[in-house]
Amino acid sequence: MRQVTQDWESGLAATKVQPPVPPRHLVHRSRLDVALDTAVDAQVPLVLVSAPAGSGKSTLLGAWLATRPEAVAWLQVEDSDSDPARFWSHLAQAIGRTQPSIVAALQPVIAGSNGDEAAVLPALINRLAELPDPLLLVVDDYHLVDDDRIHRGVERLIDLCPPQVAIALATRMDPPFRIGRLRVRGQVAEIRAEDLRFAPEEAAGLLGGTDHSLHPDLLTDLCDRTEGWAAGLVLAGLSLQHAGDPEAFVAAFRGDDHLVVEYLRDELLTGLEPDDHRRLLETSVLDELTGDLVDAVTDDSGNAEWLRATARANQLLVTLDRTGTWFRYHHLLRDLLRLEAQAAMPERLPELHRRAASWFEAANDYDRAVSHHLAAGDLGDAARLMRLHGPRLLRAGQIDTLRGLLDRLGEVTRTEVACAFLAGWCEFLAGRYAEAERWLDIVVDLLPAGSTAATSLRINLALATGDVAGALDEARTALAAGPLADGLPELATAIGAAHAWAGVADEARSALDLAVARADVEQSRTAQAVSLVHRSVVELEHSAPAVAHRAAQTAIDNAERFGLSGYHGIAPAFAIRARTSDDAAQVRDDVAYALASARRSSTPLAFAFVLAVCGDTLLDHGDPAGSALLEEARSVVDRLPDPGIAGRHLSRAESRHGKTTARPAPVADLVEQLTDRELAVLRYLPSRLNQRDIARELYVSIHTVRTHCRAIYRKLGVGDRHAAVQAARDHQLI
């Protein structure tokens, strides 16, 4: 197992982020090399190589890069890379081959923001700007990206690209960038299909050992028939090795992409030995091939040498590393083989996928293992591996990838507790709280009675929707079930956050300090950052401004150290630093940053808090724009069942600045003790029940409930239900 894992980590993982090995019969195309050199030397930020499949884009770039002195970052895009977090993570790893510090700096940002380009791009561009030496960044098969968020981010990267970095995109179709604008600005150099067409003198090199047998007129004719298409010329070269009459062959050859499938089937596959034909069809289920993997899938041996021999004889098997260990089929051949396999042996395909899944699982590559289990129809095995793979995707911020796998599991997701739990987190992180609540109900039904496994999600969901009372109840239940020291840092963070928003300072500090320590040990940077932010929330409510300022500064410093300052969860710390600062310039900058960050994707509770604190701060500094922020905060708070201290901060700000929507702030002591019946009504106020519902629960009239509520507000010294709940919590009445 250990050897397989090591081979995996040093083999296939590296092939995605390094240029492919040039083919044995490499044709150096000086005219295109000069065009590429000119663009890079002129510091043009984007080189766009856009042409159909089989035009030689990857081969051109790979061979050209070998002649350049700059460091190279190469990313081979796959179908699964249309998840923003996954794309940016792989791009960081590509750059990290020569700049390891960039990976360490970017991965927490990518994971914490789920690949949000607003957070990732500033961090990436700042790191690239610090590079002392030039870098060539190449993204191959960019057409496989179909996510607008990634396209926006890449276009922004091109716009702000430091002069020492050049970006090359190889694609079958133009990306949805504003290419006209890039042309006007001189920010793009383009190589198109017509540029990649092979001239007769270049085509001779693609024909391998047959070039000397062709008269120049035949070469010209062959180029005309293929329109200089690289793949067509390669196919012609393979057949010319066996053609008895080259002139007759050229006269009959049609090497355009419309006929390539028929040609490959009729001329290439039918001429193979039966054993080779079988192996090609069986391994078509794989995206990449290595000897041990092919042995496992074909239930055979000696395939490492078979791969090397095939690659030497056939340019349609591409070598991916310089050790001759990993390979892939040319896209044209792969597509044909899969069609042939589906037609010739559909009943065998599930078993081939199962063998591949077993090999990848042994190599700890759960991503490919899950995909092969799904392809085999083995949903139970796929769900089993999702217990291990799903949390990794969740922590890496690859939410789109995770959701896609869960969707492919279908109804199985509803019967497996781990999968249902992951689905709930996906919906929560996407801000679809009603859907998350439905998944949480499924999880609870699947868990044994008394289990706290879903507590962190339940608390976060309650806080997100402004149900501080519900979050606090869950937190207290979890604390009663056992010590936090043995749990995940995310659970301690959630419990601390519940107490923080409820204004229960000591318990909040205890849980959050433990969360920070646990997160540091487990390198859970997002949990650590969020815990420190909530600690600053506690100190703003319960300590002197200087203490709150230090707590906010600590949270921001920690976030910046791990590249998470752009993560929307840090926004409250910037608002608190502004509220407690005497530096007018910093106040202005922090307020603007906190508001912009919170507006991107903060939960309603955190958003209301940031609005209230920033509005209060601006008004204190004589900026009338604060009034609109307080009004916006009120519109959010009034929709929340129990906003906790966020509601109190808003009420204090409104009262201090004389706003018409102001509610009186709670007084230090009770005006009068509450009766038992009033206490009974009070305990329902943090819930989502309206007064009529409370009356039904207590078997009294709605008039009685209204009378009790007026008495509760008067005795607590408050003016509304939200303030009454927080005041009662402060007095430990609930």
| Model confidence pLDDT, tens digit, residues 41-72 | 999 999 999 988 778 888 899 989 988 999 99
pLDDT digits (tens, 9 = 90+) for 144-165: 999 999 999 999 999 999 999 9
* Statement to judge: residues 614 and 689 lie in one domain: no
- Please give the helix or strand (H or E) that residue 487 lies within, else none: none
Domain that holds residue 95: 28-196
* Statement to judge: residues 161 and 46 lie in one domain: yes
Domain end, chosen from 640, 666, 693, is at: 640
- How far are the Cα atoms of 16, 77, 652, 704 from residue 287, in angstroms, in the given order? 11, 12, 61, 71
* Statement to judge: residues 621 and 689 lie in one domain: no
Helices (H) and strands (E) in the chain, counts: 40, 7
* Statement to judge: residues 162 and 61 lie in one domain: yes
* Statement to judge: residues 63 and 191 lie in one domain: yes
Average pLDDT over residues 62-85: 91
pLDDT digits (tens, 9 = 90+) for 6-34: 333 334 466 788 887 777 767 778 889 99
Residue 453 forms part of a structural domain: no
- Quickly state the pLDDT bin for 414 (edges 50, 70, 90): very high
Residue 389 has pLDDT above 70, yes or no: yes
Which pLDDT score, from 0 to 100, does residue 497 have?
96
* Statement to judge: residues 572 and 691 lie in one domain: no
* Statement to judge: residues 538 and 597 lie in one domain: yes
Residue 256 has pLDDT above 60, yes or no: no
* Statement to judge: residues 614 and 692 lie in one domain: no
**252/728 Cα distance (integer angstroms):** 90
- The pTM score is 0.79
Contacts with 593 (C-beta within 8 Å, 6 or more apart), sequence order: 571, 574
Contacts with 257 (C-beta within 8 Å, 6 or more apart), sequence order: 52, 53, 54, 229, 231, 232
Contacts with 617 (C-beta within 8 Å, 6 or more apart), sequence order: 575, 578, 579, 587, 591, 626
Residue 634 has pLDDT above 60, yes or no: yes
Residue 388 forms part of a structural domain: no
* Statement to judge: residues 579 and 695 lie in one domain: no
- Quickly state the pLDDT bin for 494 (edges 50, 70, 90): very high
Domain end, chosen from 141, 172, 196, is at: 196
pLDDT digits (tens, 9 = 90+) for 676-730: 788 888 888 887 788 888 888 887 778 788 888 888 888 888 878 888 888 888 8
- Quickly state the pLDDT bin for 5 (edges 50, 70, 90): very low
Residue 142 forms part of a structural domain: yes
For residue 116, what is the domain's CATH number? 3.40.50.300
Range scoring the smallest mean pLDDT among 178-182, 307-311, 528-532: 307-311
- Quickly state the pLDDT bin for 350 (edges 50, 70, 90): very high
Residue 363 forms part of a structural domain: no
Is residue 552 within 8 Å of 580, Cβ to Cβ?
yes
* Statement to judge: residues 712 and 578 lie in one domain: no
Residue 683 forms part of a structural domain: yes
Which pLDDT score, from 0 to 100, does residue 245 have?
75
Residue 128 has pLDDT above 90, yes or no: yes
Which pLDDT score, from 0 to 100, does residue 223 have?
78
Which pLDDT score, from 0 to 100, does residue 254 have?
60
* Statement to judge: residues 613 and 713 lie in one domain: no
Contacts with 49 (C-beta within 8 Å, 6 or more apart), sequence order: 57, 60, 61, 168, 169, 170, 171, 190, 191, 196
Residue 707 forms part of a structural domain: yes
**603/432 Cα distance (integer angstroms):** 11
Q: Provide the percentage of residues in the chain whose pLDDT is more than 70.
A: 91
Residue 341 forms part of a structural domain: no
Handedness of CA 216, 218, 219, 220 (dihedral sign): positive
DSSP 428-481: HHTT-HHHHHHHHHHHHHHSPTT--TTHHHHHHHHHHTTBHHHHHHHHHHHHHH
Residue 359 has pLDDT above 60, yes or no: yes
- How far are the Cα atoms of 40, 474, 500 from residue 606, in angstroms, in the given order? 46, 19, 12
Residue 473 forms part of a structural domain: yes
For residue 526, what is the domain's CATH number? 1.25.40
* Statement to judge: residues 34 and 113 lie in one domain: yes
Domains of the chain: total: 3
